[in-house]
Amino acid sequence: MAAWGEQARVVEGGMEQLTNIVVSQGELEHIARLLEQLALDTSGSHVLLLDKSGQVISVYQQSGERDIVALGALLAGAFSSSRQVAEILGERDFRGILQQGVQESIYTSLIREHWLLVVAFDKQTHVGLVKVLARRTSDELEHVLDRVLLGSAAAKEQVVNVQFRSSVENTIDYLFRD
């Protein structure tokens, strides 16, 4: 598989393989532990790891059943939008954005141009602490990301095979019929 866009390779029919990432069981458990620790240290109600397209890789939530899928799409959209603002201002990048509420705030930061780390925390926690601890967690997640990229090719071969593709096509035809 192509680890990221710049390394995409051509597959059958002349199409490029999509940029994709395969997260293994072991790495996901590691990620989950890091998110949980960050949530405990910041008293965060939610800590999410997203990819920049808005897909939720992992989430830790102390309480509530929020719509995490929609939350991921909106947060990634807001971050992506802020990067366009940075470009207009001539700023190289906004590495983090803070959305401040009365009861709850959200801090989102970028990890290696590919992932977003999101912490939702209440007014009892100082934003400076969240930024410092998020930075620490990001450093550790960068190492995980490196390993995920290295191991993705082999892991994907085990999942996406001819039978799988055929079954997905049949499901698409069945569910999305006229």
Partner 1 sequence: MALINVASREIQCKIVYYGTGYCGKTTNLQYIFAHAPQPARGDLLSIATESERTLFFDFLPLDLGDVHGFRVRFHLYTVPGQVLYERTRVAVLNGADGIVYVADSSLEKLEENFQSLIELETNIRRMGRDLGNFPFVMQWNKRDLPNAIPEITLERYLNRRRVPSFPASAVTGEGVFPTLRAICKAVMACL
Give the interface with partner 1 as residue ranges (CB under 8 A).
1, 4-6, 8, 10-11, 13-25, 27-29, 51-57, 67, 69-70, 73-74, 76-77, 80-81, 83-85, 87-88, 152, 155-156, 159-160, 163-165, 167-169, 171-173, 175-178
**Most distant CA atoms of the chain, gap in Å:** 56
Q: Considering the complex, state which of residue 52 and residue 136 has its C-beta at the smaller distance from partner 1.
A: 52
What minimum distance in Å lies between the beta carbon of 61 and partner 1?
A: 15
Instruction: Name the β-bridge partners of 119.
Output: 47, 107
Burial of 3 (0-12, 13-18, 19+ CB in 10 A): middle
What minimum distance in Å lies between the beta carbon of 75 and partner 1?
A: 12
Total count of residues recorded for the chain: 178
How do strand 104-111 and strand 46-51 relate by DSSP bridges?
unpaired
What minimum distance in Å lies between the beta carbon of 167 and partner 1?
A: 5
